[in-house]
Chains A and B, each alone.
Chain A
Amino acid sequence: MMSRSIAIIAGFVSLVSLSCAHAQETWKIGALYPLTGGLAVLGVENMQGAQIAVDIVNEGGGVAGRKVELISGDAATPEKAQSEAERLLSSSGVTVITGTYSSGLSYAASQVAERRGAIYWETGGIADRLTQRGFKTFFRMVFTASSNGELAATISKEIIAAKLGKESKDLKVLVVHEDSDYGTSVATAAQEKAKALGFQVIDRLPYKASSTDLAPLVLRIKATEPDIVIASSYATDALLIQRQMKQLAVTTKAFIGTGGIYGLTSFGEGLGTAVNGIFDTEGSANIGAQSLTPAAKADGEMFRKRFQEKHGKAPSYVAMQGYVGTSIFLNEVLAKAASMDVEKLRQAALKIDIPVGATSLGWGVKFAPEGDQMMGTNLRAFPVAQQWQDGKVVVVAPQSVKTHDAIHVPLIGWDKR
């Protein structure tokens, strides 16, 4: 009787431990992106890029013989981002979370991670203050909002002022932006840099991204007659501003959008040919191959092909950003640490030293060290300037990575585009 019970219990215990062992075989990484709500369009693509990175690593045998698994959470709002982060860290027991596409969401979720001593691997949020909090376990792969804003000001001088044959002091610049963390950081940086470069910066106008009507903003643009408008927006407002500018007959010599929104296919579709000539500063999935190492170039082509096959469309910069960011974590951090121990992962991350041009986005990877004011920022990531030409977005600056020259300076009239 006893031996039979013991046999049953032993059998049960071994079954349970077998299944436990099976469950422990994968490396679990938390993945927080906005999968529903207003930011879902790009949040989903961001995650799709990350998933492809995981798929490729798993096909190659995983990391240290174990497969990688993304445990996803829907961070549709900052509140949800926080609660999902809590859930991932406590019930799913992950020690690393990656994400998050939007600065506001990242800010919220990473507070939770810091409190619980987990690594936060940010591949998309650009607001400067994300890495100004002194968090030891927050790493940001992408360039900062201020570098994005500064680039807009720089091309105002190097491309637009140059092509117009004018000095910056003879040109008026107006900065408009949506009023969240994201828009404000980019706009403030653009404003400061433009002033430093000698432009007459008329004003910086914040507005709410969810506004149903931006006629007051557009009429202010009309009233102040700037030569160059630099804008930081989300999707619905970006479209609305252009449409209302056309409807109210407001023209400028140049319009520089910042951030992925101004390069989106839907932006182009919404405006038709009126989109040609508009600039956009952000990262690019189609950076000039001349600036990439052969390995990076091949990696980029492979990713583009794979994304197209899996999702039926070409990957945007945001998809590639998720891919590169997650690949670096898997191949340089997890592989080298071979453990989910936060301190080992952190040390591995701080040791990364990849030169510019060695990733398919054209960036290198080296994180600002401990004690640095921007601790955790990737110092070798940079935005590029693009322009809509013939219904497509092409890279026009900096010199080393461009694929085309800038055209349409000054912007041709609305009816002629």
Chain B
Amino acid sequence: MIMAIIPQVLVSGLLIGGVYALLAVGLTLIFGVLRVVNFAQGEFIMLAMFASFWLFTLFGIDPYLSIFIIAPMIFLLGLVAERIVINPILNAPHAMQIFATFALSLILQNIALVLWGPDFRSVNTSYSTQSLTFGILSLPITSLMAFVSAAVMGSLLIAFLNLTRDGRALRALVQNRYAASLMGINVVRLNRIAFGVGVACAAIAGCVLTPIYYTFPTAGVDLIIIGFVVVVLGGMGNIAGAMIGGLIIGIVQTFTGFFISVEMKDVVALIIFILILLIRPHGLLGTKGAEELGTK
């Protein structure tokens, strides 16, 4: 029976990899452009999950459709957050930056706790537990949608970064902040846009994850940890890297969990994290040395 399950292990690994990519894309964009680790990224995901839950419960709007309402709202919230929290600490010492975004994360968690309480909410749609079956393979619909969303979101972002003027400016910032500002790029404006887009990606992730997990104030805390690992693996600021990194971690974790022990799968991801930092800190697709530049 074990041999017959291996294809399923691979498929499940790829699908969870899609979820990981979703979590990492926004984070890597913010990290790459602003050189700030957004410890509140998980909370933007959580806020989107709550928004999605309420839209579903009160108005019957499907979580996947609610993306079109929630992502723009969170984008705007991101612009505000960047102005108030991030911009002032952009040139501050690292410790201050960590405190600032970490504080933001605690504030958002507790606002959610006060507004909606600690109870676990769930969204149960007709397809919540359905799968597409191909012979011996089962593809859960919710995971498939997460995978597809990651692919679409990633592709759109890559297109934006390569084909639009603002997008190219963002890539310039990722490469070398100082040189970019010398080229006449409006760094303040682009920082704001990058943060807004980054948390909008978190919002999309949140909507897509709502049918899979419980929604509750600290939902973002455990979800986002893997996001950091994927960002480092893929290379800071590199969208394609985040997607490939997500798939790699997903597959490695699922195989480890199946063949060795379920507990080891989380250990393995963090071991990879440490190894990358030691051996190849710019990640799979990052530019060598870029991870140092711009971080005083």
- Residues in chain A within 8 A of chain B (CB atoms): 36-38, 40-41, 44, 179, 205-208, 210-217, 219-220, 222-225, 235-236, 239-240, 243-244, 246-249, 264, 266, 269-272, 274, 414
Contacts and interface: CB of A to CB of B under 8 A. Distances in A.
Nearest to A248: B138
Interface stretch (B97-105, B126-134, B185-193): B126-134
A249 B8 CA distance: 11
A248 B119 CA distance: 27
Interface of B: 1-2, 5, 8-9, 12-13, 15-16, 19-20, 110, 113, 118-122, 124, 128-131, 133, 138, 140, 142-143, 212-214, 216, 218, 221-223, 226, 250, 253-258, 261-263, 265-266
Nearest to B109: A36
Contact of B138 (A207, A239, A247): A247
Contacts of A235: 120, 214
20 contacts: A40-B113, A41-B119, A179-B263, A206-B263, A211-B265, A211-B266, A216-B253, A220-B262, A235-B214, A236-B214, A240-B213, A244-B140, A247-B138, A248-B140, A264-B120, A266-B120, A269-B124, A270-B120, A271-B129, A272-B128
B262 A206 contact: yes
A266 B121 CA distance: 7
Given A36-B110, A212-B16, A249 B122 contact: no
A43 B261 CA distance: 31
A41 B262 contact: no
B131 A247 contact: yes
Nearest to A224: B1
A415 to B, nearest CB: 10
Contact of A215 (B16, B128, B266): B16
A44 B130 contact: no
Given A236-B213, A247-B140, A217 B133 contact: no
A395 B145 CA distance: 39
Contacts of A224: 1
A213 B119 CA distance: 21
A271 B12 CA distance: 21
B214 A249 contact: no
Nearest to A210: B222
Given A41-B119, A223-B258, A249-B138, 20 more contacts: A40-B113, A44-B118, A206-B262, A211-B222, A211-B265, A213-B250, A213-B253, A216-B253, A216-B254, A217-B257, A219-B5, A219-B258, A220-B258, A220-B262, A236-B120, A239-B122, A239-B214, A247-B131, A249-B133, A266-B121
A246 B128 CA distance: 10
A18 to B, nearest CB: 37
Given A40-B113, A243-B128, A208 B266 contact: yes
B143 to A, nearest CB: 8
A224 to B, nearest CB: 8
Closest 4 pairs (CB-CB, A-B): A216-B257, A40-B118, A247-B140, A270-B122
Nearest to A264: B120
B262 A225 contact: no
A222 B122 contact: no
Contacts of B13: 215
A219 B8 contact: yes
Contacts of A207: 257, 262-263
Given A214-B262, A217-B262, A223-B5, A266 B129 contact: no
A266 B261 CA distance: 29
Nearest to B124: A272
Nearest to B133: A249
Contact of A248 (B8, B16, B121, B142): B8
| Residue among A38, A212, A274 with max Cβ neighbours from chain B (10 Å) | A212
Contacts of B118: 36-37, 40-41, 44
